[in-house]
Structure 1
């Protein structure tokens, strides 16, 4: 869009943060670091993989011979149900050293028994099972904890230590910083307009179409106007769904279709297993009124120019505010042009 081909800032209405957009910088020569692209074809089973069916994990627990999804409590979870200090407080009653006890639970969700299949390579039926597994675990954990975070780190570049496709679920009683910020901004918007922020936003994006990557009757995926990462996308429920536990069986199927298409387009941009961090944001379950909330997910992929060139959030981004060279509109156009047939299937002559 020509109106945005100059340096400008865009505001994220969910958080209040700004991003500096500098489209002219995208043509500069690249002399920085490159990453090693993952090109190897993984087998469907690896004997020493701690996530494959029937194998032993680090704590000597043995995985069952699972046939679809498999969930277990993280052997090295960042949270647990026990704390050494139950009361909240501050060190020496000093407001500069405030702390509080944190308790919760961390689970690992293996998407499939197949070691080689990432999300875009799963069938819609297999992905539907992933979605319903997320929902089942959300409902169970939400009965105890107010905040449940469902997420996936895909690829070594994102710090993923296990190549077997999997995600995680962390649940805790405290309200995390991102949820707190989003809750405040959505509530303020709702107070002004009596309509959820994301409901209005996604309707306007669908009407415009410029940044829409894929959509169906229940879900829409867009490159958000305020995107900070090069190929960042936002997945939003088109209906009044506030928490992941409200995802119906019908919603699960349509979400699986959308996730398969979106992640397939990602892989096809650079013909690689596209890395990202993805996570769902639900309304906390302890709100007196969550009318302002709309269930949504973020995909934050780090690749910038190729399978080996990464966007580093350093310098200005760490000390001032996010900055991007590739405009949201250009990124959306690239994703829109990407095929919905996975490049590996296309190479094999499959539909």
Structure 2
């Protein structure tokens, strides 16, 4: 667990215990045991003047229904298909898939420096709600529960054929989302992607060395330390990881050992829906904007691999939001991040403290609604 080439660097386990002696603004590096990476923490950089790019204000008015929006109920998509008048979630094949089930193999390589392998799979789009002017934090808990159930169902369906099912949501134009309608994507692949391979290797190694899943022990430790917790419930934890890279990055963990989404009990799914709504409400309340992020679920591999021993895996979701100082100033992963290693501008403990302090009632609700919610 030593940083390569860092003379005198300590192992991650002993390094954690020394953090209390460091001033919050003192730069240091932290180890990510889940992905075998390091991050440079330089909180004093938050004080530097900002004359860089400022994002334009986000659009505040989105039509509830636009017949020209290909994700709306009843709309015609690019391939000529007409969406049903759906009232809940709606899952369909991506009209522009990055993966296709019948792609040919590239053939053998004539040199080890020029390797290519077959890549097959399917890509789907899942609409969360029929209205374009809502997002997950503005949906009801039962509506979010329907999304959770749809996630579990599509994981089970595609996981019967493919070893990796990646559910991910890009929210906001800042994260490259081309359509404001509430939706996510599901890509199932014939191979384990790079991040999944790193998490597989690291979790397997930790289980072999310590006798329990890495993220189960990590969640237990964060519950004891409390400084990076954002939300807790009967079945779930939300925390800013010790090794967080993005400014207000969070990790969503079940309290018990769960390998995949379909294994969640009805009570855990209800609780997940509730804690997701609270987290995403806090995100929106941070800068009083529709908070952009990329999020995704990671669980044990599936397909023909499902019968193997994957007990070292713990289900989890990553949230990676780019906003740094305000709704218009974001963290850019360029320069040092692209050429050396990740670097962040405030400590995970500072980020968790700010998120913890935010209300769980959405800023867009009127005062009357706030009072009613507070009473409830």
TM-score by length of 1: 0.97
What is the correspondence of 1:15-164 to structure 2 with a 5 Å cutoff? 15-85=35-105, 89-90=108-109, 93-164=110-181
Report SS of the residue matched to 1:269: helix
Tell me which residue corresponds to 2:297.
280
* 2:67–2:74 Cα contact (<8 Å) kept: no
Q: 2:361 aligns with which of 338, 341, 345?
A: 341
1:254 aligned residue: 271
- Contact conserved, 1:37 with 1:272, CA < 8 A, in 2? no
Contact 1:132 1:249 in 2 (8 A): no
Q: 2:233 aligns with which of 203, 212, 216?
A: 216
Q: Deviations over 1:261-320 (max 9, x none)?
A: 000000000000000000000111216211110000100000000000010000000000
Question: How far apart are the structure 2 equivalents of 1:135 and 1:160?
Answer: 23
Q: Distance in 2 between matches of 1:308 and 1:229?
A: 16
**Cα offset, 1:215, TM superposition:** 1.6
Cα distance in 2 for partners of 1:77, 1:348 equals: 45
1:189 aligns to 2:209 (yes or no) = no
Matched position secondary structure for 2:113: helix
Aligned counterparts of 1:349 and 1:67: Cα–Cα separation in 2: 25
Aligned residues: 348
CA distance in 1, matches of 2:262, 2:185: 16
What SS is found at the alignment partner of 2:237?
A: strand
Residue 245 of structure 1: how far off its partner (Å): 1.8
Take 1:220 and 1:152, find their aligned partners in 2: how far apart are those partners? 20
Give the whole-Å Cα distance in 1 for the aligned partners of 2:347 and 2:368.
34
Task: Quote the residue 1:317 is aligned against.
Answer: 337
Shift of 1:121: 0.4
SS in 2 for 1:152: strand
Q: Residue 321 of structure 2 aligns with which residue?
A: 301
1:331 aligns with 2:351: yes
Deviations 1:91-143 (A, max 9, x none): xx211010011100000000000111101000000000000000111100001
Q: How far did residue 338 of structure 1 move?
A: 1.1
CA deviation vs aligned residue, 1:189-236 (integer Å, no higher than 9, x gap): 101111100000011111111111112121111000000000000001
Q: Are residue 270 (structure 1) and residue 290 (structure 2) matched?
A: no
Asked if the contact 1:14–1:182 (Cα under 8 Å) also holds between the matched residues in 2, the reply is yes
Where do 5+ consecutive residues of structure 1 fail to align? none
